[in-house]
Amino acid sequence: EDQVTQSPEALRLQEGESSSLNCSYTVSGLRGLFWYRQDPGKGPEFLFTLYSAGEEKEKERLKATLTKKESFLHITAPKPEDSATYLCAVRRVGGYQKVTFGTGTKLQVIP
């Protein structure tokens, strides 16, 4: 069974204090790893898709990286508007469109 574990559950940062969120996964053949941002009471907003170990993608202050066992979401010099819950998900090779989600990391950036 596919598993996704995100850590920490919650993270509190001062504005400008860089940090990383972790997503560890177990899947029998990775088809893709996805990062989403979710604000309270809203649907997840797509950030990145990573397909193979060594791949990196960036968007503004966010950078996602992927290894064979985990992915990191690096946040550089965060701002209060980066406060949200960040979700990680994986899809395995073959089968149907099933995506397994982690429970998320709730990030709070304090001014």
Partner 1 sequence: DGGITQSPKYLFRKEGQNVTLSCEQNLNHDAMYWYRQDPGQGLRLIYYSQIVNDFQKGDIAEGYSVSREKKESFPLTVTSAQKNPTAFYLCASSILAGDTDTQYFGPGTRLTVL
Other C-beta atoms within 10 Å of 2: how many?
18
| Nearest to partner 1 of 15, 45 (CB atom) | 45
| Nearest to partner 1 of 14, 97 (CB atom) | 97
In the complex, minimum distance from the CB of residue 17 to partner 1, in angstroms, rounded to a whole number: 26
Other C-beta atoms within 10 Å of 4: how many?
22
Q: How far is CA 108 from the centre of its chain?
A: 15
| Nearest to partner 1 of 62, 78 (CB atom) | 62
In the complex, minimum distance from the CB of residue 43 to partner 1, in angstroms, rounded to a whole number: 4
Six token digits for residue 34? 């996805």
- What whole-number distance in Å separates Cα of residue 26 and Cα of residue 106? 22
In the complex, minimum distance from the CB of residue 101 to partner 1, in angstroms, rounded to a whole number: 4
Q: List residues binding partner 1 (CB under 8 A).
A: 4, 31-32, 34, 36, 41-46, 49, 51, 87, 89, 91, 96-104
- What whole-number distance in Å separates Cα of residue 103 and Cα of residue 37? 12
